[in-house]
Structure 1
Amino acid sequence: MSQHDDKRRRLLGRLSRQFAYTAPVLALVAGGAVLQATADDTSTEAGFAAVTEATLLLASNHAAAEGEAEGEAEAEGEAEGEAEGEAEGEAEGEAEGEAEGEAEGEAEGEAEGEAEGEAEAQSSAAVQRPDDYTPGYSETDANPQELLARGEELYYDTSLSTNGLSCASCHGSDGQDEGYKATFEQPFPHRVAMASDQFGMPEVHADEMVQVCMVAPMEAEPLEWEGEALQSLSAYMVEVQRRFAGAPHDL
């Protein structure tokens, strides 16, 4: 036996004693090649099985398999971590988006509500009697005939509106008295649905009802409060209300 073969035999014997049958991965690399033992070489020391070429190759394959498994486990861990991170990020983003959306919606709703309230208040102010206003007609007594005659002319006057309507367009001509609710049977002031629904006014006087009609269906500016047109139309509407209710009137 040559000195070289003796060294190799002793080396294989030591490897057998260290790792036995449950040896971990063993790959001896020398000059890029795996050091292999021949099938005939065995170890007789301490009763351990000899490390053979098959043993080394099995250990090498086992090590490669364990390495691949560890690599796959690490890759799965990284993938799970990335997925969890993305899920958490999306959940946080959605929560923040919902919170921002709710806050913006509430702010917009409040702003719209305030704007609508201000617009309604401004519109109501345009059709409600001013504090320093004194009407030039009566809702309880008779009104002058010249006032009623002028009021009848204006009742049919389409130039008062911006859309070609007149009072008669909605309420009829020649004493037909159309388009009034049952509440119109009550003397002024009384409830008018349009004034209540659109301007929040529980009841109106005759001149306020005329102003509501000017602003809403006729789409025009309110008449001058103490002007001849408003006083004449208001006096005429008092008599129309009396006629509608079946009460004595001057028309």
Structure 2
Amino acid sequence: MSQHDEKRRRLLGRLNRQLAYTAPILALVAGGAALQATASDSSTETGFVPVSEASLLLASNQAEAEGEAEAEGEAEAEGGSSAAVARPEGYSPGYSETGDNPEEMLARGEELYYDTSLSTNGLSCASCHGSDGQDMGYKATFEQPFPHQVAMANSQFGMSEVHADEMVQVCMVAPMEAEPLEWGSEELTSLSAYMVEVQKRFAGEPHDL
């Protein structure tokens, strides 16, 4: 058995407890066609508005990503390192964490937010956190300006709080199962600037998106 297969076997064992949460969501997705087929009658007679299949799929992706993150965190609790995701010593980011970043930078960041090629498993940032401004999958701590606490960064990498670029790197390494982006790269800078504005939007504050 390869090292990758062994790792997946361990993770699947740890993810069993997540089925109580994800199974109902996946069942709803599977029944999406039936919901849509009876949507007009149901909404007319009962006032019930069925949840869209796309929303259910996003919720399922988020549940699975959080389950994998938790399992990964437990598996690596003794040896997790922040070296790959924490800002290098003396590093100065190319974006502003208070906002007022160039429009071109934000536009590029939005493109990357939907880019599945950044991952090795077909996920993008939008897979777990919603699209078209429908922000989802964030903890209450995301309402706070950067740097702030991110549960996955704390549990897996021992980081009590993270900057926007560090949060991007955590997501790259954990849910997206990829290498961290190069520090100072156009991809990391643009995506981090975009996430600064997403945080403001999530918190109900003025933003540039």
Residue of structure 2 equivalent to 1:167: 125
Query: How many residues align structurally?
Result: 135
Q: CA deviation at 1:244?
A: 0.3
CA distance in 2, matches of 1:118, 1:196: 13
- 1:236 equivalenced with 2:198 (yes/no): no
1:9-66 residue CA offsets vs partner (Å, 9 max, x unmatched): xxxxxxxxxxxxxxxxxxxxxxxxxxxxxxxxxxxxxxxxxxxxxxxxxxxxxxxxxx
CA distance in 1, matches of 2:139, 2:78: 28
The aligned runs of 1:200-239 (5 Å cut-off) are 200-239=158-197
Q: Percent identity?
A: 83
Partner of 1:119: 79
**Looking at both structures, which has the greater relative contact order when contacts are Cα pairs under 8 Å and sequence separation is at least 6?**
2
Separation in 2 of the partners of 1:119 and 1:131?
21
With over 3 angstroms needed to count, the CA separation of the structure-2 counterparts of 1:176 and 1:117, relative to structure 1, is: closer
Distance 2:126 2:107 in 1: 15
TM-align CA RMSD: 1.4
1:157 lines up with 2:118 in the alignment: no
Instruction: State the secondary structure of the residue aligned to 1:127.
Output: coil
Shift of 1:159: 0.2
Deviates more, 1:173-182 or 1:134-143: 134-143
Q: Does 1:179 align with 2:137?
A: yes
| Deviations 1:187-241, CA, capped at 9 Å, x for gaps | 0000001111111100000000000000000000000010000000000000000
Question: 1:199 aligns to what?
Answer: 157
Unaligned runs of 5+ in 2: 1-75
1:174 aligns to what SS in structure 2? coil
| Equivalent residue letter for 1:154 | L
Q: Which runs of 5+ in 1 are unaligned?
A: 1-115
Structure 2 distance, partners of 1:155, 1:206, is 13
Measure, in 1, the Cα distance between the counterparts of 2:151 and 2:79: 19
Secondary structure at the aligned position of 1:120 is classed as coil
- Distance in 2 separating the partners of 1:232 and 1:144: 9
2:205 paired residue number: 247
> Which of residues 144, 150, 160 is equivalent to 2:102?
144
SS at structure 2 position matched to 1:162 = coil
Q: 1:189 aligns with which of 147, 165, 169?
A: 147
The SS at the match of 2:79 is helix
Relative distance call for 1:231 and 1:118 in structure 2 (3 A) is same
Q: For residue 133 of structure 1, report the CA deviation from its aligned partner.
A: 1.1
- Whether the 8 Å CA contact 2:172–2:179 is kept in 1: the answer is yes
TM-score (norm 1): 0.52
Alpha-carbon offset, residue 117 of structure 1: 6.9
**Kept in 1: contact 2:109–2:193 (CA 8 A):** yes
Q: How far, CA to CA, are the matches of 2:186 and 2:142 in structure 1?
A: 24
2:162 is paired with a residue whose SS is coil
